[in-house]
């Protein structure tokens, strides 16, 4: 099915039992986000808020809340997109199976954007920023944000839609030092196409024209998050995925999507920044306030009966998890085709995506050697850490299997396989003083930190412990020992104070365990936490705490550590200090009062009474 608008999509979802209308008036300050989070957590339907306090416009959320719903929305085009991506990786397939790929040529006719033949855009009226549903998501957020924007910019040296960039970069609409209705904040991270466009505009001393599209056909939203190779237009992808050409016009020098529900236009001037944030982000913490580009608002447009789409991010899994699943479903093995020897790669959503990457590669360099050890895996790891957004990975666990029995999608089995073979004297490879994800506050500064590659391959060297070793039950200064996953021990100690005292703590742990390596033979890793029982309670807790609260160069220790010619390793378990540090961003916590305020909507008589899966 081809949707011409967001409303057509929502009507289709409602007709097929995927959407519920919220008829009560709801406050965009915290209430709407709280309702969304509760519904998403229950695996519930998409939501259409019919009465948004303080705004004449309706709002919709949880549209892509499950992979099943996303696949339903794109049920008539997913196979086509998969075929196109497959042909790009292996064009010979079209010659071998011409009938299977016959429809891909027709798809190309929908790929090219269409300049709207009408003299005026179909957008109905000019409004103000303050007319929009100003959704404030988390209690400590700096203001209201757009969480499903499509931010459009053009290359000043190659103007036109075919060289344009469409990305999803969060937009702050209110709060902080922004002049109401006149200024908004534009936040973008590393490896984003908009940065290239702004750098070129700055180099010429000219402002960068920005158009922010909100709503429209759902294919436009997905196109904005799709990690396309440089040189491939997101607008062409939107046309293929939505089975409808991306329609646009120019007004006052700005590109306008004529299918969008809302369009905000404005300019970003060289050197003009203002504090943006805080914002409750997808790692499960607040991203803090930092200077980011200021956008001077030119005009704000809305179509007739416009609907404001939004999502809420927080500790994963959230709705953006479904985006990742959908992208993986569409792209299949496209990444592997770009990196020789790579068989599988998986960004772990439970740890916030970029903090933890799992990979399976090949090990073909020395098949004649009697000892199996990582070799080709290290080459593949370097390629991964130099490729697009994969380069933002902080921890990369990579292994190889001669029999193909290991899959990155099975996280417990993957860790078991790796930790059984992990040799901490050999298999740890640090990258220090490097770039990390903008939203990761475990490092030494914004975008700055370190990375660690765990490259394990060969025969099993240990049987993983499923019980706490006796030697770890009565440690001085460390207590409440738990097995988080087989081979991983969680220990609790006092709060982190500073790195000098942390080093003393870890030296104390080493002194107590150094003489008991045989008793620790089944433990490959020790996690030091503020709450060891919480870390061990679920797999997701282990993944979230261990890899979001650690800067490898500063927070990795070991039992019986040693350095040989600048290579650091240890004879006993590797130790990760995953306590919260003073410079870390605070975790996201729901407001109990807000939670109580939305209960009536879920109680008997409310719009969402008995509408959630049991």
Rounded to a whole number, what is the distance in angstroms from the first to the last CA of the chain? Answer: 30
If you write DSSP's letter for every residue of 45-96 in order, what string do you get? -EEEEEEETT-SSEEEE-TT-SHHHHHHHTTTTHHHHHHHHHHHH-THHHHH
Give alpha helix (H) positions in 375-450: 376-384, 411-421
The 10s digit of each residue's pLDDT in 398-411 is: 999 877 778 999 99
Give the pLDDT of residue 97.
Answer: 47
Q: What are phi and psi of 239, to 5 degrees?
A: -65, -40
Give Dmax over CA atoms of the chain in angstroms. 81
Three-state secondary structure call for residue 518: coil
Q: What is the pLDDT of residue 370?
A: 66
- Measured CA to CA, the distance from residue 135 to residue 143 in angstroms comes to 8
pLDDT of residue 223: 92
Q: Is 568 strand, coil or helix?
A: strand
Phi, psi of 231 (to 5 degrees): 95, -10
Helical segments of 525-581, H only? 532-537, 539-548, 552-555
| Of 424, 395, 394, residue with least CA distance to 563 | 424
Task: Determine the pLDDT at residue 2.
Answer: 86
Do 88-305 and 470-577 agree at the fold level? no
- Reported as a single tens digit per residue, the pLDDT across 502-533 is 999 999 999 999 999 999 999 999 999 999 99
pLDDT at 91: 46
Q: Is the peptide bond before 278 cis (omega within 30 degrees of 0)?
A: yes
Q: What is the pLDDT of residue 98?
A: 44
Inter-residue contact 35 to 26 (CB < 8 Å)? yes
* Burial category of 496 from C-beta neighbours within 10 Å (exposed 0-12, middle 13-18, buried 19 and up): buried
Q: Any idea which residue has 């914004």 for tokens?
A: 446
CATH of region 470-577, choose from 3.40.1670, 3.30.70, 3.40.50, 3.30.2220: 3.40.1670
Q: What does CATH list as the number for 328-456?
A: 3.40.1670.10
Tokens 């475990």 found at:
442
Low-confidence ranges of the chain (pLDDT < 50): 90-102, 119
H or E stretch at 249: strand 247-251
SS3 content of the chain, % helix, strand, coil (to 5): 30, 25, 45
Residue-level pLDDT at 585: 92
Residue that has been written with the tokens 């396989």 in this structure: 417
pLDDT of residue 77: 87
List the Cα angle 560/572/377 in 5-degree steps. 115
Per domain, the residue ranges of the chain are 88-305, 328-456, 470-577
- pLDDT in the model for residue 92: 40
What would the CATH number be for the domain defined by 88-305? 2.30.110.10
């Amino acid at each position: 099915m081809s949707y011409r608008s967001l409303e057509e999509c929502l009507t289709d979802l409602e007709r097929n039992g995927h959407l519920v209308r919220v008829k009560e008036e709801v406050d965009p300050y915290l209430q709407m986000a709280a309702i969304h989070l509760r519904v998403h957590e229950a695996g519930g339907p998409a939501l259409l808020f019919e009465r948004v306090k303080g705004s004449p416009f309706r709002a919709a959320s949880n549209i892509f809340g499950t992979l099943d719903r996303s696949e339903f929305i794109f049920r008539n085009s997913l196979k086509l997109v998969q075929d196109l991506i497959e042909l790009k990786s292996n064009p010979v397939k079209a010659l071998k199976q011409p009938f299977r790929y016959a429809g891909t040529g027709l798809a190309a006719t929908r790929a090219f954007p269409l300049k709207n033949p009408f003299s005026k855009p179909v957008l109905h009226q000019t409004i103000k920023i303050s007319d929009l549903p100003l959704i404030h998501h988390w209690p400590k957020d700096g203001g209201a944000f757009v969480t499903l924007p499509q931010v459009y910019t053009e290359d000043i040296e190659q103007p036109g839609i075919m060289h344009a960039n469409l990305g999803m970069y969060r937009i702050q609409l209110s709060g902080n030092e922004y002049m109401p209705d006149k200024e908004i904040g534009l936040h973008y991270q590393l490896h984003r196409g908009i940065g290239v466009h702004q750098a070129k505009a700055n180099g010429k001393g000219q402002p960068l024209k920005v158009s922010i599209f909100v709503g429209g056909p759902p294919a436009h939203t997905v196109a904005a998050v799709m990690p396309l190779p440089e040189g491939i237009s997101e607008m062409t992808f939107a046309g293929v995925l939505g089975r409808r050409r991306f329609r646009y016009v120019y007004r006052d020098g700005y590109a306008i999507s004529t299918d969008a529900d809302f369009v905000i236009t404005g300019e970003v001037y060289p050197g003009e920044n203002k504090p943006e944030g805080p914002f409750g982000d997808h790692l499960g913490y607040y991203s803090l306030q930092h200077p980011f580009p200021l956008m001077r608002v030119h005009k704000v447009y809305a179509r007739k009966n416009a609907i404001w789409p939004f999502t809420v991010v927080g500790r994963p899994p959230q709705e953006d998890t479904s985006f990742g699943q959908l992208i993986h479903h569409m792209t299949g093995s496209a990444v592997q085709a770009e990196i020789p020897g790579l068989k599988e790669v998986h960004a772990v959503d439970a740890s916030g995506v970029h903090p933890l990457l799992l990979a399976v590669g090949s090990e073909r360099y020395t098949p004649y050697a009697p000892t199996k050890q990582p070799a080709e895996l290290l080459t593949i790891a370097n390629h991964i850490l130099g490729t697009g957004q994969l380069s933002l990975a902080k921890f990369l666990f990579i292994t190889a299997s001669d029999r193909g029995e290991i899959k990155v999608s099975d996280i417990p089995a993957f860790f078991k396989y790796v930790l059984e073979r992990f040799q901490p004297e050999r298999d740890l490879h640090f990258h220090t003083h490097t770039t990390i994800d903008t939203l990761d506050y475990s490092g030494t500064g914004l975008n700055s930190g370190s990375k660690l590659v765990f490259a394990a391959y060969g025969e099993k060297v240990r049987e993983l412990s499923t019980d706490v070793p006796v030697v770890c039950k009565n440690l001085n200064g460390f207590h409440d020992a738990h097995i988080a996953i087989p081979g991983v021990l969680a220990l609790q100690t006092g709060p982190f104070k500073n790195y000098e005292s942390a080093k003393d703590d870890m030296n104390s742990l080493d002194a107590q365990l150094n003489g008991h390596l045989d008793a620790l033979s089944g433990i490959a890793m020790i996690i030091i936490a503020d709450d060891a029982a919480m870390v061990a309670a679920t797999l997701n807790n282990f993944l979230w705490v261990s890899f979001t609260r650690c800067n490898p160069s500063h927070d990795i220790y070991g039992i019986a550590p040693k350095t040989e010619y600048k290579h650091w390793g240890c004879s006993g378990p590797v130790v990760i200090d995953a306590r919260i540090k003073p410079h870390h961003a605070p975790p996201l916590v729901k407001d109990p009062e807000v939670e109580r305020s939305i209960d009536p909507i879920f109680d008997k008589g409310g719009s969402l009474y008995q509408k959630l899966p049991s």
